[in-house]
Amino acid sequence: MPGVRALPLSPDASAVLADRITPPVGSAMGKPGFVWGVATASYQIEGAVREDGRLPSIWDSFSATPGKTLGGDTGEFACDHYHRWDTDLDLIASLGVDAYRLSLAWPRLQHADGTANTAGIAFYRRLLEGLKSRGIQAWVTLYHWDLPQHLEDRGGWLNRDTAYRFADYAALCAREFRGLVTGWMTLNEPWCSAWLGYGEGHHAPGLANPRYALQAMHHLLLGHGLALDALRAHDPGTPAGIVANVERVTTDGDTPADHDAARLLELHRNAWVLQPLLAGSYPAELWSRLYPGAEPLVLDGDMAIIGRPLDLLGINYYFRSNVRAGADGLPVMVPLDGVERTQMGWEVYPQGLEDLLRGFHARYRLPPIYITENGTASADSVVDGRVDDAQRQSFLKRHFAAVSRAIDAGVDLRGYFVWSLMDNFEWAFGYERRFGLVHVDYASQQRTPKDSALALQAFLAQRRAGQT
Ligand code: FCB
């Protein structure tokens, strides 16, 4: 494979590596049928932002604005996946995974007047056919944050019309790519789009007003429901759902106010998205307690569209936060000392994933769950052709065990996708934060599988041989 350094491993070395990552013996995760995959997103890997009629996205504008990303990094070149997709698919195949989660770039697929961009369609058709010919399932996210800038110029997700434009785009994707997709996901992490993009301003489009965030969330979720209808109309056989990021929130305080503050922040992180999707309503404490006056405008019939039954729910999990109550009883972040953290500063807390899954299972009627993202960033470098990412291996193994416990507790969890296939543009943190199983040298575009990739590969080979 040009541009990929592979390491020949003896069977003994493979067994040792697999052991660093393997889920508990006898776990459902080691059985055939459980879907193992790796994940990426268009803007984070593709580059080629001006090619073949691609329109500017909000992330092109945001990352080009001084001070918005670490080191001024942008997705202009990223992993150059737009040109290297074929060898990148070989790389994915070499890992032995069942599935690849990718996202489609809306700005590549539609011209500003809403008509199809045939060059963009041809690119993703080649990619999806390339996966199919390699026997890899394609799990496709329609929107992983790269909104066409021309829609932002008309208000973006603050404009209700964007939800309808999203449904048109979903219909186009379903018509063009049906037969090549195993599972559709409408939005990736609407919480991040709404809160980080419109509430705090750390993500594109960089607005900072909680009222905007609540309204943007409503239009995102409305767009999701309309897009589900469109996917089902044009590709009825393929399961469709959405991906939500979730966060465990606890308190090390001991007053009732501290516990209430933790409950409120967890509601902001999780129930804000999951409750409308799974139970048909917003948690009203969002505007009665957390952000007075920020109640979004909701039209008759919207909640029924948002609450359309899901065929699958993707869960992305990374960390836990600790809070205490401030003088007003509202949550205040109090980072814990002495805990293990990643390159992002995020606490490593596998138990939080089990707790959340069990909690959602008790509270909602859940569709089949897939962990669509979980992984960690570390300051990896290549030494003598090898990347020793011990923390990632240990992180993954502990999270696999947590997932396995949730399955044992009755959660219908059917797959797990590692974030990420390879190091990539980590949004506001640019290229410094490395989430990949595969190391990317951005100057040469050399890919080097890290030890975690080799460990995953070895585990999946054992699974195929019926040894797990
Ligand atoms: C998630 C995003 C993904 C990646 C990981 C680290 O919030 O969905 O694109 O950046 O975080």
**In tens digits, what is the pLDDT along the chain, a chain of 468 residues?**
556 766 667 777 788 888 999 999 999 999 999 999 999 999 999 999 999 999 999 999 999 999 999 999 999 999 999 999 999 999 999 999 999 999 999 999 999 999 999 999 999 999 999 999 999 999 999 999 999 999 999 999 999 999 999 999 999 999 999 999 999 999 999 999 999 999 999 999 999 999 999 999 999 999 999 999 999 999 999 999 999 999 999 999 999 999 999 999 999 999 999 999 999 999 999 999 999 999 999 999 999 999 999 999 999 999 999 999 999 999 999 999 999 999 999 999 999 999 999 999 999 999 999 999 999 999 999 999 999 999 999 999 999 999 999 999 999 999 999 999 999 999 999 999 999 999 999 999 999 999 999 999 999 999 999 988
Q: 110 C-alpha to center of ligand 1: Å?
A: 24
Ligand 1 pocket (Cβ < 6 Å) reads 41, 44, 188-189, 192, 245, 316, 373, 419, 426-427, 435
In whole angstroms, what is the distance from residue 65 CA to residue 53 CA? Answer: 22
Q: Specify whether the CB–CB gap between 317 and 372 falls below 8 A.
A: no
Six-digit token string for 4 = 């990929």
- The 10s digit of each residue's pLDDT in 220-232 is 999 999 999 999 9
The torsion region of residue 81 among left (phi > 0), alpha (psi -120 to 50) and beta comes to: alpha
Q: 243 C-alpha to center of ligand 1: Å?
A: 11
Q: What is the pLDDT of residue 299?
A: 98
* Catalytic annotation present for 76: no
Q: What is the DSSP string of 58-125?
A: HHHHHHTSTTSSGGG--SSSTT-HHHHHHHHHHHHHHHT-SEEEEE--HHHHB-TTS-B-HHHHHHHH
Counting ligand 1 atoms within 8 A of each CB, the residue from 203, 316, 372, 433 with the most, and so the one to mutate, is 316
Of residues 277, 175, 287, 151, the one with CA closest to residue 225: 277
Question: Which atom of ligand 1 has the smallest separation from the CA of 245?
Answer: 7
Of residues 361, 197, 191, the one with CA closest to residue 267: 191
- Whether the ω angle into residue 420 lies within 30 degrees of 0, i.e. cis, is yes
Question: Which atom of ligand 1 has the smallest separation from the CA of 189?
Answer: 8
DSSP state of 268: I
- The 10s digit of each residue's pLDDT in 140-154 is 999 999 999 999 999
In whole angstroms, what is the distance from residue 351 CA to residue 179 CA? Answer: 38
Question: Which atom of ligand 1 has the smallest separation from the CA of 344?
Answer: 6
Q: What is the pLDDT of residue 3?
A: 67
Q: What is the pLDDT of residue 7?
A: 60
Q: 74 C-alpha to center of ligand 1: Å?
A: 16
Exposed/middle/buried for 200, CB within 10 Å: 0-12, 13-18, 19+?
A: middle
Q: 38 C-alpha to center of ligand 1: Å?
A: 13
Q: What is the pTM of this model?
A: 0.98
In whole angstroms, what is the distance from residue 89 CA to residue 421 CA? Answer: 10
* Catalytic annotation present for 373: yes
Q: Specify whether the CB–CB gap between 423 and 436 falls below 8 A.
A: yes
Q: What is the pLDDT of residue 2?
A: 53
Q: What is the DSSP string of 313-325?
A: EEEEEEEEEEEEE
SS3 428: helix
Among 46, 189, 247, 266, the active-site one is 189
Q: What is the pLDDT of residue 8?
A: 61
Q: What is the pLDDT of residue 33?
A: 95
- In 219-251, which positions are buried (b, 16+ CB within 10 angstroms) versus exposed (e)? bbbbbbbbbbebbbebbeebbbbbbbbbbbbbb
Q: What is the pLDDT of residue 97?
A: 98
Counting ligand 1 atoms within 8 A of each CB, the residue from 419, 426, 429 with the most, and so the one to mutate, is 419
Among 152, 176, 354, 373, the active-site one is 373
